[in-house]
Chain A
Amino acid sequence: EPEVTQTPSHQVTQMGQEVILRCVPISNHLYFYWYRQILGQKVEFLVSFYNNEISEKSEIFDDQFSVERPDGSNFTLKIRSTKLEDSAMYFCASSVRASPSSGANVLTFGAGSRLTVL
């Protein structure tokens, strides 16, 4: 069964450093997402990406965050200057739907990248 793969599985970084989390979505999927889960809290939507641009973002996704699809397979989340509160599990997801208003948007998630900021 096709999978969404994420690397690294765990990254430890110092506050203020830049971090790039990588994702390889399912090959025929058109929509890409990042979610995060701070320990003990809900899974929160960060951003969605379609046709090489951000389609929607949450209030969490401020100027320190950016996303990119640098080639035909990878989808990355960059955190420019990490803060302690960025410590979380970050999930990448992808979906196949061509139109989000035309029915259920079923997301396939990766295993997550755990980010620890010291």
Chain B
Amino acid sequence: AQSVTQLDSHVSVSEGTPVLLRCNYSSSYSPSLFWYVQHPNKGLQLLLKYTSAATLVKGINGFEAEFKKSETSFHLTKPSAHMSDAAEYFCVANTGGFKTIFGAGTRLFVKA
């Protein structure tokens, strides 16, 4: 059975400092992995996706994620946080079926 674990429920960073949001997955098959962001009262917006091509994936708003099969990880990073990055972030896995599995989410706080 596949599962997605986001290791931190909350992450707090200062504006201008790096962001690291951690995600580990468990899957019997090679998964497709995604990061979505949810701003208050907004829908879930796709940040980036990994689909077995390059292991380092670049997304919107300066975010990146690296797929590491040996560590079963897909951590989301950004070199320099901006106030507008404050939101809930979801790591998501799909092994090709209809069911897409969400992690529990990580709320990112950005301090001025």
Of the listed residues A4, A44, A102, A112, the one surrounded by the most CB atoms of chain B closer than 10 A to its CB is A112
We find that the number of chain B residues with CB closer than 8 angstroms to chain A is 23
Once A104-B32, A104-B51, A105-B32 are accepted as A-B contacts, the answer to whether A56 and B41 lie under 8 Å apart by CB is: no
B94 near A42 with CB under 8 A, answer no
Of the listed residues A42, A58, A100, A105, the one surrounded by the most CB atoms of chain B closer than 10 A to its CB is A105
B103 near A56 with CB under 8 A, answer no
**Interface magnitude class on chain A:** 20 to 34
A103 near B96 with CB under 8 A, answer yes
- Residues of B in contact with A (beta carbons under 8 Å apart): 32, 34, 36, 41-46, 49, 51, 90, 94, 96-105
- Residues of A in contact with B (beta carbons under 8 Å apart): 3-4, 6, 9, 31, 33, 35, 41-45, 48, 50, 55-56, 58, 91, 93, 100-112
